[in-house]
Every structure is written in C-alpha cells, then in structure tokens.
Structure 1
Amino acid sequence: MTTPVPGAPRILLVEDDEVIRETTQLALERYGFPVDTAGDGLEGLERFRAAPPDLLLLDVMLPLLDGVGLCRRIREESRLPILMMSARTEPIDVISGLEAGADDYVVKPFETAVLVARIRSVLRRTSFEPDQLSPAAAAVPGPAHPVRVIDDLEVDTGAMEVKVAGRPVPLTPTELRLLLEFTAAPGVVMERQTLLERVWDYSWGADSRVVDVHVQRLRAKIGAARIETVRGFGYKLRRTP
C-alpha cells in the first residue's frame, strides 16, 4: 500500500461494489490521499459521524441507505465537500444527487486522473483562499467596507458570512462561491460556462446542469426573485421588487 502524504485531505469512499471500492481506494492512495471506506449508506453515515473526513466520495446506488439519502443526511450536519459517483447519466439521477447537496458528480467508469482532478477542484473551492477565487469574486468594495449589501442581502466577504434581512443563511462552500460571483457584478449576466470556470474550476466542457441545480439551491436560501434567468445566456443577480 502506498503511504499517504502527511497532511493530505482524508477521503471517505462509500461504494458497495467491493472491486470498485478497492481499486478506487488503491488508486487514490497512490495519489497520496488517505482513504477510509464503507460498503453501504448506513455504514458510511456511521463512519462520517465517528471521524468526519475532508471529502466524501459516494456512489448513488447504495444498499440500506442510498447515496442521495446519505448525502441529504450529511448535509443536515455538515458543509464538507461531497462528490457523487454514478453509472447512471439520466438527468433525474444527476439532478437528484445535486439537489440533495452534492457539490459535483463524476460518471462511472472514470479514469483515475479525471476523478483526482474533480476531487482537487472541489477541495480548492472549499478553502476560500483569496488567490483561489476569481478576481471579480475576490474583490471587496473597500478595506473599510467588506460587506456587499443588495437590498436586505448582506455578504460579508471577510468573514464569508451571508445574511438575509439580518438572519444568517448557511451556505455550502460551492453555494457561497456562486453567490460571491453574482454579488461581485450585480445586474451583469453570468454565462453558465463562465460560472463553471470560476466556481467549479472547469476550463473544459462540463455539464451545465451542475450550475442550474446550484442556482436553484441558492435561490431557495436567499430568495428566488434575486437571481433572474436570462434565457439562452445564463443568470444575473437583480434587486428584489
């Protein structure tokens, strides 16, 4: 077994297929990631609660508690990055996983290099280092005014906190990055590909449904009227009526 790199992010892999579970674990360990495993959804939930990992990698189709249900349960307790794996590419399967709270997904079978690239991308965008944000999102209104205010929406770019009408709104790291892009340029239409590049760090073609579902989740938390769909182009942040 390859010795994990000291300080490397720890991954919890939840996969019921023993062959896939073992080969994926070995492949990730060759890249230096320490990997814990579970063979079903309930075991995955137990392992998560006993020793929360830095990233959760889980299959959609799991016994006892499926991946969507597990993702939803963990989202109630944690904002840790979640990457889902699925051999099913139907829109309903992809959307169900994302709506449950997953940050991204990868389709099986996959090359290890592709999986590792997705893992590293998810981990980068959960760290909130200023040099890892896009220039627009990283910019703040001024040293004395790090809070962006649009109507009753407040985004503290220093503390990385969001409030609506004075009430704290918990966002996942991906949702917060998405909101930072919108609040950096209110009224400006953001194309889906632009958001994929800035928020998900994808410079290659990727599934725009990831953007659509995260926008839907963000709307549910900050108010649907704030983010307008511009058909054929993308989305823009607007002031509420």
Structure 2
Amino acid sequence: MSTLAFTQEKNRTILIVDDEQPMRELLQLYLSTDGYHTETAVDGEIAMTLIRHKKYDLVLLDLMMPKLDGFDVCKAIRNVSNVPIIMLTAREDTIDKVVGLKLGADDYMTKPFEQQELLARMESIFRREKYLQEDMPVANQPIVSNQKIDYSYDDLRMNIQTHQVFYMERELSLTPKEFAILRLFLSNKGRVFHREDMLELLWNNRPVNDDRTVDTHIKNLRDKLSQAGIPGQDVIKTVWGTGYICNETT
C-alpha cells in the first residue's frame, strides 16, 4: 500500500513529458502502482498544449527531446504555470542541472534512477506544498491555531491562505519552492539560515549538490523580487561564509 495517503486522497495527476516510449511506460508503471493518475506527452509542443488547457499537480520533464527541449519547455511552463517540475536528464553535467533550476525547475534526477527515489522526491515536493497550505511555525514562537498569517517586508506582502505575494499592487509569480523560501525568511526575520538549515526544512535534507541548489533558488527569487521593483538582495541578504538572513525593516 502506498505511503502517500494524502496524495491518493487528492487524486493527483502527473504529466510525463518524454519522447521515449519505454521511459513513458516505465514512469506510468512507477506512478500508477503508487496511486497517481498519469498523462503523457511525446514532445514539448504537446506538453504545452496540455498544460494550457488542464491543471496538473506535477510535471516530469525529460531534458533531451525533439522540437522543444526540456529547457525550452520548462521556461514556457513558467510563463503560464507554477506547477512543480522535476527535470529528468541522462546527462550528469552540473551545468544542465543549474540551467534547469534557473529556469524554474523544482528538482532534477539523473537517469537511470530507482522507483523509490523518484517517489520520495515527489513526496517531498507534495509534503512541502501541504506544509505551505498550513500555518508554518515561526522559529522559537508558539503556534497559534486558526490564526491567519500575513508576512510583510516594507510593501512586499505575502498571503498564506491564497498563496499570493504582492509588491505594491503587483502580484509576483513564484514557484512553490520560491514561495517556501520567501515565507521562511519573512517569518524568521533576523535569523541566519545556513544552507544546511534550508535543505532540512525545504528540501527534506536530500543529498545533492546542496550549495548550488540553494544558491540557485535564492538567485531566482532575488531576480523576481528585483524585477518587481524591490531589490532582492535587500530582502534576503547574504551572510558570507554562513548563509542568508532577512533583516527587520526600518
């Protein structure tokens, strides 16, 4: 029986984007045995057509495909949706992984991979998603049940109930991971977070190129804040040799 009880209850649907039929069928087998619904796309163009007309809970996206490669598809998805993306690649080049993260992927896996690792990565993403939908405990402070939580930094405001972030009157389009990072810092102003802290809290402490993963997501978030008009380096400051901090506003 699957351990992802909350996943099955929500009837999550996963879009598999891969041009190789054996891989699509293998992924469908992996996911169906664990209670997921699946749909497939053989190339990036078909994937984008599906994503524009239907809501998915997660996308498994192959990197090397005809017509549109995984990088182009990831970028196109992020223009229309914040759906979590796990990028799949047969290449172990670090640069590919970094580019994928910069374009908005939430995670990546190198082929071949084990079924249980894939399911664990997916479970981690859904657990964080569920975690963000509930009241996130502020470090060293008691949890107040049924309390509406609103975090802010000057004119930057976060609405937990609706999963929206605004600067002035403009809404920012953040990925689930970027939302989680921003919430972590806004709810713990003045606290320095080591990269290891963030991996434990937001990535389930998984063994990857840790520093690069955290730094890339921080950079993406800062860029979006800067594009909206608030300097991202002001909201999340680098503590050299240690980690990151969100200072109290004055």
Percent of aligned positions that are identical: 36
Output one character per residue of 1:89-146: Cα deviation in whole Å (capped at 9) or x when no partner. 2221001111111111112111000001111111222232326x45539978998883
The partner residue of 1:122 within 100, 122, 125 is 125
Aligned to 1:169: 172
Cα distance in 2 for residues equivalent to 1:157 and 1:192: 24
Aligned to 1:228: 237
Cα distance in 1 for residues equivalent to 2:119 and 2:221: 27
Structure 1 residue 107 corresponds to structure 2 residue 115: no
Aligned to 2:228: none
Output one character per residue of 1:55-105: Cα deviation in whole Å (capped at 9) or x when no partner. 111111111001111111111111111111112222210011111111111
Aligned 1:24-35 pairs, distance under 5 A: 24-35=27-38
Aligned to 2:217: 214
SS in 1 for 2:109: strand
The partner residue of 2:86 within 83, 87, 92 is 83
Give the total of aligned pairs: 236
The partner residue of 1:22 within 16, 20, 25 is 25
Matched letter for residue 133 of structure 2:
E
> Aligned pair in 2 of structure 1 residues 145, 110: CA closer, same or farther (>3 Å)?
closer
> Aligned pair in 2 of structure 1 residues 37, 205: CA closer, same or farther (>3 Å)?
same
Output one character per residue of 1:156-198: Cα deviation in whole Å (capped at 9) or x when no partner. 3444332224432222221111111111222321111211121
Find runs of 4+ consecutive structure 1 residues off by over 6 angstroms: 137-145
Matched letter for residue 157 of structure 2:
E
Query: In the alignment, is the contact (CA less than 8 A) between 2:151 and 2:183 conserved in 1?
Result: no
Query: In the alignment, is the contact (CA less than 8 A) between 1:5 and 1:32 conserved in 2?
Result: yes
Q: Which moved more, 1:77-86 or 1:134-143?
A: 134-143
Aligned to 1:61: 64
**Structure 1: runs of 5+ lacking an equivalent:** none
Cα distance in 2 for residues equivalent to 1:70 and 1:212: 23
Output one character per residue of 1:28-49: Cα deviation in whole Å (capped at 9) or x when no partner. 1111111111111112112222
Q: Which moved more, 1:230-239 or 1:137-146?
A: 137-146
Query: In the alignment, is the contact (CA less than 8 A) between 2:16 and 2:60 conserved in 1?
Result: yes
Cα distance in 2 for residues equivalent to 1:93 and 1:134: 35
Aligned to 1:193: 196
Query: In the alignment, is the contact (CA less than 8 A) between 2:62 and 2:89 conserved in 1?
Result: yes
- Using the size of structure 1 for normalisation, the TM-score is 0.86
Matched letter for residue 21 of structure 1:
R
> Aligned pair in 2 of structure 1 residues 145, 10: CA closer, same or farther (>3 Å)?
closer
> Aligned pair in 2 of structure 1 residues 16, 170: CA closer, same or farther (>3 Å)?
same
> Aligned pair in 2 of structure 1 residues 114, 138: CA closer, same or farther (>3 Å)?
farther
- Using the size of structure 2 for normalisation, the TM-score is 0.83
Matched letter for residue 146 of structure 1:
I
Structure 1 residue 73 corresponds to structure 2 residue 76: yes
Cα distance in 2 for residues equivalent to 1:88 and 1:44: 22
Cα distance in 2 for residues equivalent to 1:140 and 1:73: 39
**Structure 2: runs of 5+ lacking an equivalent:** 1-6, 226-230
Q: Aligned-residue CA RMSD in angstroms?
A: 2.8
